[in-house]
Structure formats: structure tokens, C-alpha cells
Amino acid sequence: MKGKRGLSAVVATVLLILLSLAAVSIIAGFVIPFARDSLDEGGACFDLLGDLQIADTGYNCYAENPDNQGDYRSGFSVRVENENIIGFRVGLTRSGSSSAYILTDETEESEITKIGPGSFIPGVGEVRTYFYEGIIDKVEIAPLTVGENSCDISDSIKLKECVKEDVIYDLWQIGESG
């Protein structure tokens, strides 16, 4: 074994450190841009917390048609408090099933209809009331940001039967002229 020399412990340690640094550099090149993009997207949604809500109006309920028993219509009202909200996703739960709808100002046809004139999505500080044919148990809303990124649910409400006559009238009469 004379004349054969192995790597010294110092050289082996330096090579392992260099190899580790190279591996970390390569991984960081992929992870950092991915994390930055994910945080930017999440940050946009974080800035909208509380800016899309179900407004506390008398229309958050369902009512039977006074002229045609057995026909029901559900209503809910939405308030927007941020100009970066370009629309919202609505989740409707009824009889154990659910449906999701995307509502923007470009929405032309939907099973969800707005009450009254104006844009489909309320402006900043405005409230818009919508109705749906049938009984809805629960409504959930989530904002859509510029670029149509969908955020997590920002508000929800369980609907009850309407008790006020004027609300029932509005859901059935004003809703017809939409």
C-alpha cells in the first residue's frame, strides 16, 4: 500500500461543501420564482379580505310565489368595497347539492339574475341584489381579481324564508322586469 494516497479529509470536506452549494443554488433557482409568484397571487386576495360581503338586507331569503304556489325564488345581496374586485364566484347550496357561478359585468345569461337596472356587478360602495329560481339553503361568495384570479370564500349566509310582504313582492314583481 505504499505510494497510494487517498483524498485528505480537508479536500473531501471542501468538495462536499461545494457540491451542497451547487445543489442549493439549482433548487433555489426554481423554488424562489415559484414562491414569489404564489405570494403575489395570494397577496392580491389578502388585500381584498372583507371587501366583498353579503350585505345585510331583507332580501337574503327565499319566498314562494304568491300567485303560483310551489314556485320559489331565493334572493341575496352583495356589497363591493374595492375597485380591484371585477366580479365574484357564487356557490349556491340547495337540497344537498351545489352549483357555482362566475358573475362579472360581462355576464349575459345566468341562472342568477339581478334585480333592477345597472351593471351586473355593484360598483365600489354599492349593493346589488340577485335572485335565483328555487330554494337556496346557503350562498357563498368569493372575489375575482384583475386577471380573473379567484380567491377563497369571503362571506356566506344561510337563507331563511322571507317574512316581509314587500320583500316577497320585490322578489317576484321587480325581479320579473329585472
Q: 125-139, pLDDT tens digit by residue?
A: 999 999 999 999 999
Q: How many other CB atoms are found less than 10 A from the CB of residue 87? A: 20
- Contact (Cβ atoms closer than 8 angstroms) between residue 62 and residue 164: no
- Contact (Cβ atoms closer than 8 angstroms) between residue 76 and residue 135: no
Ranges in the chain, pLDDT < 70: 1-7, 34-44, 147-148, 174-178
**Domain limits, the chain:** 7-46, 52-177
CA pair distance 21, 15, nearest whole angstrom: 10
Rg, the chain, Cα only: 28
Residue 62: exposure state from Cβ atoms within 10 A (0-12, 13-18, ≥19): buried
- Contact (Cβ atoms closer than 8 angstroms) between residue 108 and residue 58: no
pLDDT score for 99 = 92
pLDDT score for 101 = 92
* Conformational region of residue 148, where left means phi above 0, alpha means psi within -120 to 50, and beta covers everything else: left
CATH number listed for the domain at residues 52-177: 2.60.40
Q: pTM of this prediction?
A: 0.72
Q: Are strands 61-64 and 160-161 parallel, antiparallel or unpaired?
A: parallel
pLDDT score for 178 = 47
